[in-house]
Structure formats: C-alpha cells, structure tokens
Amino acid sequence: MNFWKKLAAVSLTAAMTFTISGCGGTSDSSKKDGASEAGESNSAAVPYDGDFTVGVNDVAEAMGAGWNLGNQLEASIGGMPDETAWSNPVVTQELISAVADAGFTSIRVPVSYLDKINDADGYTVDSAWLDRVEEVVQYCYQEGLYVIINMHGDGYYTVDHGWLLCADDNQDEICAKYEAVWKQIAERFSKYDEHLIFESMNEEFNNTYSDPDPTAYANINKYNQIFVDTVRATGDKNTHRWLLVPGWNTDINYTVGDYGFEMPTDANCTAGESRMMLSVHYYTPWDYCGTEELTGYLWGEYGGNLIKQYRFPKMARPNWGDEAYMDDLFQQLHDKFVVNHIPVVIGEYGAIDKSTAVADFGGQIQSNRAYFDGYVAGKAASLGMIPVYWDNGFNGVYGFGLFDRNTYEQTQPEIISTIIKAVAEKNPQVGMDVEIVYEVEKASEVHAYLGIQTEIYTFRNSYSDASYGASTEHFNTLIKWSEDDEIIDTGAAFTDATITGDGTYSVGVSGYDFSSDSTKLNMLFVSTDFKYYDKIKVSDVVLKCDDTEIPIANPIVMADDAGNMYIELVNIYNTDLAALDYTMPKNSFTIEFTLNNMDAVIG
C-alpha cells in the first residue's frame, strides 16, 4: 500500500473498547492447538529446506486466505528501515501464530531495503537486515504458512531515499542496483521450498494518478524481467519458485487493459509448468475503503439495506464501485490470467474502520465492513484467485487492523471469520448475515483536559498518550526539555473539566510565561477520556490568551489515537486546520466550549 495512504491513519487510529458480540469469533485452526514460542516445533511447522512444491492447479486453493504484516519490515524513518518506526511493536512468533490460529494460511511480509543497501559497496544489503527478514519468514514456516516477501517501499516517490523510480532518467543505475539487491535476497533464500514466494515490487508507478506513462511502464516491465531472470539464475529452489509481479501501481484496470503491461518471460523455470503469478490490489471505491473522513461509510447491497432500515443518508454509500463493478474487474483478471495458468494474488484489500461515523450504529457499520471484506475474499476465491487482507496494525478509527500486535488478540473477530468462511466456501455473500453489536457502558461523569505544545516543545500530551498521558507521572506537568534532554517541571498548573451532562465547560493551563521562549504554538487542543460520538455537538468554542478572548469558528472535532473525543484548535501538522491569529500569553491559556447530546456517554 502507498506510504501516505498507510501513514495517514497513524495519528487517528485507536483500539475500540466496546463490548462486541455477533456471529464471529476466533476461528479454529486445523493446524495446531496453540501458539508456540520461537524455535519450538509443532505439528504445523514445515522444514524450510524440504522438497515441497505446489502446482499451478493447486496453489490458489493451498494459499487460501492471506493476511499482510503491514507497516512493519517496510516501515522506515529518513530512509532507514525499522520495523517499529511506524508505531507497531517488534514482530514476534506469537503474533504469527495468532494469525495462523485465526485461520489464515498465507502471510505477505512487505520489506523495504532503502538505506540498508550500501551503494558504495556494490549495492550490498546489510546482512543483519536480511537476517531479520529471514527470521520473520521462519516464524511463518513454524506455522506451515505460505509467505510472500517483496521489495516494498523502495519504489515510492513519497518515501525518503526511494530509488526504484520508474520515471527517473538514471535507469541503467537503477536496474543494476535492482538486480544486485534481488540477487542477494534470492541467494539468501535459495534453499527455501515453495512455501516462500518472491514478489518483485509494490505499487510501482510515477506517482501520478492518471493513465500510465508508456516510458515509465516500459521500465516497470523491465524491472519485472530483471527480477525473474535474476532469481532463476541463483539456482537451487529458485529455479522453480513461484514469482509474483505487478503492473502499473498494482491497478487492475491498468494491468488488464491496453496500457502496456507485459508479463515477463520465464524461460529458465525448471518446474515444467507455470510458476508466475500476477499481483494486484483492491481498495475500490477509495472513498469507502480509504478516505479518512466519516463519510462514505456504507457499501454495496448490505449498505443499501442499512439505508432502508435505519434511514441513513443515501450519500453515506458511494455511488460507484459496488459488487457488480468488482465482479466485472475480477472476471477480467480471471479470463486474462487465471485461465492462462497465471494465478492472481489480490495482494492488498480492505476498508478502514469508520464505525464512529454514526455512533449509535457502529456495529452495523462494522458489519457492513465485514461484508465488504468477505465479498472481496469470497469473489476472489470463487475465481481461483488468492486474497490477502491489508492489516497495518492500527485498530479503531480509520484503522485496518484485525489483530492487536501487542496482545495478539483479535480486534475484529467477525471480520476475520467472515474472510475465512468466504474463502473456504468461495462465496462472496457470506457476510450478508453478519451482525455486530456494540454495547457502550455509560459513565456518571467524564473529563476533558487541555493539551498544548509550543514551538520549543514545551508540552502536555493528550489524555490517552502512552508516553506522557494520564497513566504517566508527567500528565499534570507542563514539560520543558533541558539542554541535556531532561524533563523540567515549569511549575504551571492545569485546570481540567469534570463533565456530568450538557453544558459549558473550560480547561486551561496557567502560571507560566509562554511568551518568554516561544512566539507560537505547534498544537493546542482539548482531549477527553470518553469515546468520540458523532452525535455529540461542540459549539461556542472560545480561546483565552490571558484575558484576550478569541472565538474559534471551526475547530476540528474528531477521534484521537485512542478513539476519544478530541477538539483541535491549533496544529501546524494539520493543513486542514485554519490558522489562528493570537499572541502568546504571559500567564495562561483557557479553552471554553459547550457540549450537547452528552447522553450518548453519560447515563
């Protein structure tokens, strides 16, 4: 998935703390009874260096339902890959075991190389990084899973130090580097059996969302051919390994249509039959699947039924990209590739969590999401294709997550069970009967808190922040960093609000001369300890800088990274928020606001 599409969810995702019931639950795995520690043997484990092969007529059925280990080994900061860079924890055997126990039989492991490649030393890949990639692959073998590894973020124009850039002029250098890196990857895994699949690249295009540029597309075709030839030339099991290649931006239309895609030749394959696969992604319609707004939250026939039953606005369901649209595209893939012995992998698909769009109907919205995911998976399986769900590790608002990567628990058991059942039965309609119920325990009182960050990073973070929030000793301290990176208590005091119903409340901070070392704010907001509900109305927001009152016409009200209500007044990192005209005070900030419809959380 594109870097920005994935990372935009980081600031707003959260684990929902609702009690969930429904038709789903943890799916039984036919492989094993429980998770294993890394390195332990179990009945599911397969030797990586065995002689296992899987033929073209069996591979789709064998790979079954797939899951992406997204935002992990492809995560990076400043061009340096780091599996925890995008807020996920270190990948463990326990996580992979949980995914297998849920019923998934294939895992796609996106990998970035970027600055792990030493350009000055023949494009040598850091051996420790290859060790870590291999360790994660071994986790998958420990569960008897099929596993796909690729070259993921190296081709993004939006990632620092991306280099596999199909529209750049230095193609000779790019091709030489690409060949060198894949040679090292292939050699590292040459003894691995056909449970391991190589994917050449990910969402490769010129970063322009329009019809493909012919020259850039020709370069993508060239990369795919280099990939195939390089892997085959390394010998051993790589001479018959399954290889997976994409077209322009892994877009179905630009791959099946007459836009220039060419399937690479595979003359050196020793399998005696096809060992080439096609990679495409499916996030259609994007305004349902990925647009981070609490609109477009219903899809397809299921969504239409909700509109009729609960009188949701018709605009809640995008007017394109329904079941018929998907059916047609998937049929084109089948007719052009599957029937010609080229299996198709839907390498990414999914829809983000928009269950807070209508707070009292979060369960129904999630049920619709389960239907969508099940429809993609079931339709793909019915046509002999392999669906691989995109999980970026983030749960709650705008998240794709199905598992908690810290606890290994399923966060969306109904979605998981729908996907598994849809693939097993090859039936896209299995999600039509899913009903998820959200029950929210109301409180007698809830609370609001002022959050702030100055331009020199004197700050108080939000209530739910893991490092400096309410659960830490720093929450009631206006923190200032010393030159030695020590925390200094500025002596300022916070005034928080106890909310017992509809009314006007205020939060503030006082006792510090903010103008003494800063001329502006980076952030100013109100955080809370209660869930964001669309029906709660915020009005009459006024900022006081000392005694100067500034009415706030359009504050942004949304869910924070734990799903709690959040009122944003200043945020230099959010270009959607209008700039605020103010002068840094000598003593205090106060935010006054009025809340209505609080009976959603107070009772």
Q: Which residues belong to the active site? A: 203, 348
Cβ-contact 401, 412 below 8 angstroms = yes
**DSSP summary character for residue 245:** E
For 448, 461, 474, 475, 537, the CA distances from 467, given in Å and listed in that order, are: 19, 9, 9, 9, 30
Q: Please report, to the nearest 10 degrees, the dihedral formed by the alpha carbons of residues 301, 305, 308, 311 taken in order.
A: -100
| Cα–chain center distance at 255 | 24
Q: Please report, to the nearest 10 degrees, the dihedral formed by the alpha carbons of residues 525, 526, 532, 534 taken in order.
A: -70
| Cα–chain center distance at 157 | 19
**DSSP summary character for residue 213:** P
Length of the chain: 603
Q: How far apart are CA 421 and CA 373, in angstroms?
A: 11
Other CB atoms closer than 10 Å to residue 83's CB: what's the count? 22
Structure token pair of residue 376 = 């993609």
Structure token pair of residue 155 = 């081709």
Q: How far apart are CA 178 and CA 165, in angstroms?
A: 11
Other CB atoms closer than 10 Å to residue 59's CB: what's the count? 21
Q: How far apart are CA 562 and CA 16, in angstroms?
A: 7
Structure token pair of residue 235 = 């010998």
- Total H helices, total E strands in the chain: 12, 27
